Amino acid sequence: MSEEAGFGGEPALGGPLERPGPLTMSGYRPRLVESDIANALDRVGAVLIDGARACGKTWTGRRFARSEARLDDPATMLLAEAAPEAVLAGGVPRLLDEWQHAPTLWNRVRRECDDRARPGQFILTGSATPADDITRHSGMGRIARVRMRPMSLLESGHSGGEVSIGALLDGQAAAALPRSGATLSDVASCICAGGWPANLGVSEADAGRTIGDYVNEAARVEVADAVGVRHQPEALLRLMRSVARNVSTEANVTGLAADAGGETPLARGTATAYLRALERIFVVETLPAWSVQMRSRATLRKTPKVHFVDPSLATSALRATPRRLLADPETLGLLFESLVVRDLRVYSQSQTGSVYHYRDNVGLEADAIVERNDGAWLAVEAKLSPSPKSVDTAAASLLRLRDKVAQRRAADLTALLVVTSTGAAYRRKDGVQVAPITALGP
């Protein structure tokens, strides 16, 4: 999506970074995850930034780094094998980009952190979990991990950030705001373009082609190269389309395998292996079920919801465009929920928060539960329409959930929030907060 088509300004992420590195690239847009990286570099010897390819890890790593080694370069790879100490030598923090190509460096970095006994020595970035996780188990106390996701609407300049998730978790009411200038067509375009830095300032058609290339490369090359899973690319693409059709649902592996179709149906074991591989390259990120004591005897559902790390991957797998989504409100609604989850994950990360979903056996559900480490939590319903009827339905569901939670946890509830695609931000008489996604922020 071109910046001219946006409906926000520069992301209001706070003051400038106190120590921007000399490798910071021109045109860089600040990211919320920077605060987590800075904190980690102040505490431990190294920080690992992991996440989906092309979400901006290298650019953000360079924001802090004084030197770098690119492990996706053949010459650097040869040096890592022959003289790994040379790869680690340089100004600190030293960026080791795509480190998973040389996983033996993990133990070298760990030992260097011990020997140097100073924080902020290395920044590792990676877009896949190495096949041998044992190489990563000894980083405790030496290497901190920070997850980076595609840009939220605030970071891409499409949200004003006036409604703070952190403030809501602190029990503060959000200020009323007039109807935003965003349209449903704008939101559909944001879903299709995704939070990929490379898609800022490009046409809708070019953004779609870039994401299509991403999906195809993930299915044909990335899975095998990154995690060593033998697979049939066409079968994996069918499974990705099945995930896209079932995004924001509790579809299980058996259902996804059956829905994938094809002349040769996917076996459950094959589908499980493919999904795990997609998780390892950070393409798929499931949303776990929230487990909390209830007043009633309702049974909590424990099946996670399936989401792509960015809803644009689902639209690409479905070959959807903003125009096609606007003609299919049901699919658009599910993808909008996935967009809300993506942004809540980004906004809550700096609040030491995690995102879940809730559903019980009597049909009561909440699209998202944001819970902070101190126990404070808020419940969220995503509604495509800002109409009073739609908001009334969502608010009633949230109020029922509030009334069913055991008293011990009800005391930790700080907000009930209905997130709409467009419209105004306001607080209802029943205390439920309503806000468009284009007003959300950390």
Residue pLDDT, tens place only, 276-324: 999 999 999 999 999 876 665 566 678 899 999 999 999 999 999 999 9
- The pair of structure tokens assigned to 355 is 């995102």
Residue 296's pLDDT is 57
Residue 227's pLDDT is 62
Report the distance separating Cα 38 and Cα 171, nearest Å: 27
Residue 80's pLDDT is 87
Which sign does the torsion angle of CA 264, 267, 272, 273 carry? negative
Neighbouring residues of 387: CB distance < 8 A, sequence distance ≥ 6 = none
Q: What ranges do the domains of the chain cover?
A: 34-147, 153-441
Report the distance separating Cα 364 and Cα 301, nearest Å: 10
Residue 147's pLDDT is 96
Report the distance separating Cα 310 and Cα 196, nearest Å: 9
H/E stretch holding 380: strand 377-383
Residue 139's pLDDT is 62
Closest CA to 199 of 29, 22, 16: 29
Q: What are phi and psi of 36, to 5 degrees?
A: -65, -40
CA 299 to chain centre: 29
Letter for the amino acid at 435? Answer: A
Residue 299's pLDDT is 60
* Cα-Cα end-to-end distance for the chain: 23
Neighbouring residues of 413: CB distance < 8 A, sequence distance ≥ 6 = 377, 378, 379, 402, 405
Concatenating the DSSP letter of every residue in 286-353 gives -BPBP---BSS-PPBP-PPBP-BSSHHHHHHHTT--HHHHHT-HHHHHHHHHHHHHHHHHHHHHTTTE
Q: Would you state the CATH architecture of domain 34-147? A: 3-Layer(aba) Sandwich (3.40)
Residue 127's pLDDT is 83
Residue 4's pLDDT is 39
Letter for the amino acid at 186? Answer: D
Distances (CA, A) of 417 to 184, 365, 372, 381, 429: 20, 13, 16, 6, 13
H/E stretch holding 258: helix 253-260
Residue 415's pLDDT is 98
Residues of the chain with pLDDT below 70 are 1-21, 130-140, 226-229, 293-300
Closest CA to 387 of 417, 423, 433, 440: 423
Report the distance separating Cα 350 and Cα 339, nearest Å: 18
Letter for the amino acid at 355? Answer: V
Report the distance separating Cα 67 and Cα 23, nearest Å: 8
- The pair of structure tokens assigned to 154 is 């605030």
Residue 428's pLDDT is 97
